[in-house]
Structure formats: C-alpha cells, structure tokens
Structure 1
C-alpha cells in the first residue's frame, strides 16, 4: 500500500491522546479512544511517555496492527511528542515507518528489556536444575520478544539490528532529527 507523506495540518486534531506511564490505565484510555475514533480516514495517535510496561505497549501495538488489517480505509499514524522512551518506542515499532512521525525536539530512548528477579535454588538437585532452566527459558523468550520489536523498529531504516543491539544495553537516546535522518521515522513536524 502506498502512503502519501502527511503535512503538519494533518496532525491538528489527533483522535487518540496518550501521555504518562505505559500501563493498564493507559491501555484502557487507548482502547476507549481507539473504539471511538472514526473507522475511515486518518487516525493519529499522539504519545508522550517516559516508558512503562513493554507488554502493555505490545498489546496496544497489536491492536493497531489488527485494526489496520481489518479496517483498510483507516490509516493509523503515530505522533511522538516530547519524549518517547522505552515502552513508547516498543509501541512505535508496531507502526510502519511511513506512519511514524515526531514533533521537533522529541527524544527517543531505546534500551533492552529490564528484568529484576531473584533465583533461589533449594531442594532436590533435579528440581534445582529445572528451576534454573525455567529462568533461562524466561530470559530467552524475553530476548526473542525484544529482538522481534527491535527488528520491526529498524525495518526500512539505515540502522542495522546489530547496531541497535550494540547501543541498546546502555540506553540509546536519539533526537527527532537523528531519528529522521536514520530512517526510523517518516518525518519531523
């Protein structure tokens, strides 16, 4: 599907306005606004966030992907404003690059998923091995999910997956102009 470049005037009245922590409360607001948005034409989702729950961001992203597939007469577009950190970038990765826009001065922050966990090994040896393997499986699954999102984010840009994976562990900050010049977003407004 060919998309035409949008102009600043196209963003004057976003259908969905989200700011704050990406969490269950934001998801509820997002779904209410998405359900109320027109099923045809342009649907702008404006987001400003310092991050939050990556799984909630993925749920929101899956809603966008699904709606885009079943409602071909509606173009859902992302507009990042001020700060799009962490889970906000995860959400943005669900949009085609042609549907990603940022306002001037917006900053992106991309990092690896974080985990805080304790592992207690106690009991029969075979159960101890099973406990360690279960935690390793959790880590491997989380890394696979993270890397799927990273691959979606860099698709169509000049940022390689290897470059992103090298920079993500130490929090990669990009301003809107750099994100545009690297091809991570369509335009800066």
Structure 2
C-alpha cells in the first residue's frame, strides 16, 4: 500500500528557495548566505537540506540567521529535510519551530552527542600544568552546555523529553521520517 501523499497540502515545499546539500561547513554557510541574499524577500522562505553532518557551529550559525530573519521581519520560515538530516543538519533544523519542520518520505534524522578529537600534551613546568588541564576541562564542560542547549532546541514543542534525547544520543539515534512526525519533531512527512 502506498503511503498517503501530503505534498499537495504544502505546495511551497515543492520548490525550496534555498537548497543545501553536502557537509555542513564554511562553504555550505557561504552558499546559504548567497542563496538567502538572492531569495525572494516576501512570503514564506523554504529551506531544504540534505547532509550527513559536519561542523555544528556552522549549523548553529545558519540557524541563527534564520532566527534573526524570523524575529526581525516576522517572516515565516519552513524547513524541509531530504534523504538525510544528520548531526549538524539536525542542529540547523532546531532553529525552526517544530510546526515549521517537514521531512520527505524515507528521510532519516540522526542525533548524537558532539564529538571531540583532541590530544593533551603535558609538557613543561609543573606549576603550569594544572592550568592546561583546567582549560581542557572547561572546554569540555562548555561544549556539553552548548550540546544540551541544542538538544533542548531540537525537542522544544515535541513529545520527546530532553532526557530521552540526551540518553539516546549517546549511541547515534536514527529516526525515520514517520517516527519523527509521530514524536512531534516535525509537523509532517511529504
């Protein structure tokens, strides 16, 4: 049996004004800014993304641009996730209210903890080493705060408790489009 097609209920989603794909990084951010500058200035703005992830700070930066546009102009912004919205893509998605988020059929979300790849070298005078250790600990602690802010934004307005996301994210939580809709993480699947 073919699943119901809700696309006709959301005609604006058929032609996104901004289409992003690939790694979330500085190049995607520059592409995003260029497409934003060339997008129509009136009516709802539709942004689509397909990504296996990337730099969460670039996802946050793009999301901040969307938030500022919405707050300063009152303009409606719609999110359309296509095929894969992993990691930093979900961070970007969190900038849109849940009732403005959509996924195409077969799309997967993937939510996980932030990653750190770092080496710590303790080399030098003993009196200087505690500061090196404290600095690394502060970096980790602040990264956890930022991660939890992002988790709260992803689940705000959904039926997913923050604690559930925090627990499931430790082992890469993959969520199919229909499950995301049923959990209230997105409004609908088209």
| TM-score, structure 1 normalization | 0.94
2:156 corresponds to: 155
**Does residue 9 of structure 1 match 2:15?**
no
- Contact in 2 for aligned 1:20/1:49 (Cα 8 Å): yes
2:57 corresponds to: 55
**Does residue 100 of structure 1 match 2:101?**
yes
1:139 corresponds to: 140
Cα distance in 2 for partners of 1:187, 1:71 equals: 25
1:29 corresponds to: 31
Gaps of at least 5 residues in structure 2 are: 1-7
Gaps of at least 5 residues in structure 1 are: 1-5
2:45 corresponds to: 43
1:69 corresponds to: 71
Cα distance in 2 for partners of 1:126, 1:188 equals: 58
Equivalenced residue count is 183
Alpha-carbon displacement from aligned partner over 1:95-154 (angstroms, at most 9, x marks no partner): 111111100110000000000000011222231100000000000111111110100111
- Contact in 2 for aligned 1:157/1:184 (Cα 8 Å): yes
Larger displacement relative to structure 2 (82-91 or 122-131): 122-131
Cα distance in 2 for partners of 1:75, 1:37 equals: 13
- Secondary structure at the aligned position of 1:127 is classed as helix
